[in-house]
Amino acid sequence: MSKNPAPSARTVLVTGFEPFGGERSNPSAFIAGALDGRELAGHRVTGVVLPVVFGASLRALDDAIERVQPALVVCLGVAGNRRHITPERVAINLDDARIPDNAGNLPIEQPVVAGGPVAYWSTLPVRRMEAALAAADVPVKLSETAGTYVCNHLFYGLMHRLAQRPGVRGGFVHVPRPRAGLSRAKMADGLVAAIAAALGETD
């Protein structure tokens, strides 16, 4: 692996997850695919679908970051019990699975990174993204917890990696299951607006 090459000022990495828990589809994978190849605020988006597997998801993320060299990373996952798109504020250093992942792993009270910080803040401009989603008429609510399953595992691992990559911002956004009035396509349009807003952040 190369030693932290400079990020491209013109690329964005968006990741989604494969289906899990007996579901046949995952809206985060649809959104990542829908955004792949798009041009947003002068940046080209690369969409990647990751495995719902502790450890393997981070290895796949590492591969994507090395290949794309993004200036911005937005990881997506599904939270089936939520009714809003929820940008996450904080990732915690804890794997504590309620169900096995897609490889049968069931970590209980294990750190994502042994000896790592207790938590990381997202470096995405979550308030700005919240406003962009609301302006796009997409239900949105900021979230203080990404849980302790593979979504949080990926979020924490991402932020741990980006701590060694100055100038690269990133974070995690949960999406709900599609329902009447909130289709996968509408959620994808909302994420386009949110990512464009993040790219426009100059602070």
Amino acid at 3: K
Decide if 88 is catalytic: yes
Which spans in the chain are helix H? 27-35, 56-68, 126-135, 150-162, 184-199
Single out the catalytic residue among 23, 39, 66, 88: 88
* Distance of alpha carbon 7 from alpha carbon 61, whole angstroms: 15
Q: What share of the chain is helix, strand, coil (3-state, %, to 5)?
A: 30, 25, 45
Catalytic position from the list 23, 66, 109, 151: 151
In angstroms, the first-to-last Cα distance of the chain is 31
Packing angle, helices 27-35 and 184-199, rounded to 10: 60
Cα–Cα distances in angstroms (integers) from residue 11 to residues 34, 61, 192, in the given order: 16, 15, 14
Q: How far apart are CA 156 and CA 165, in angstroms?
A: 15
* Cα–Cα nearest to 83, from 197, 174, 194, 151: 174
- Residue 75 a catalytic site member: no
Active site residues: 88, 151
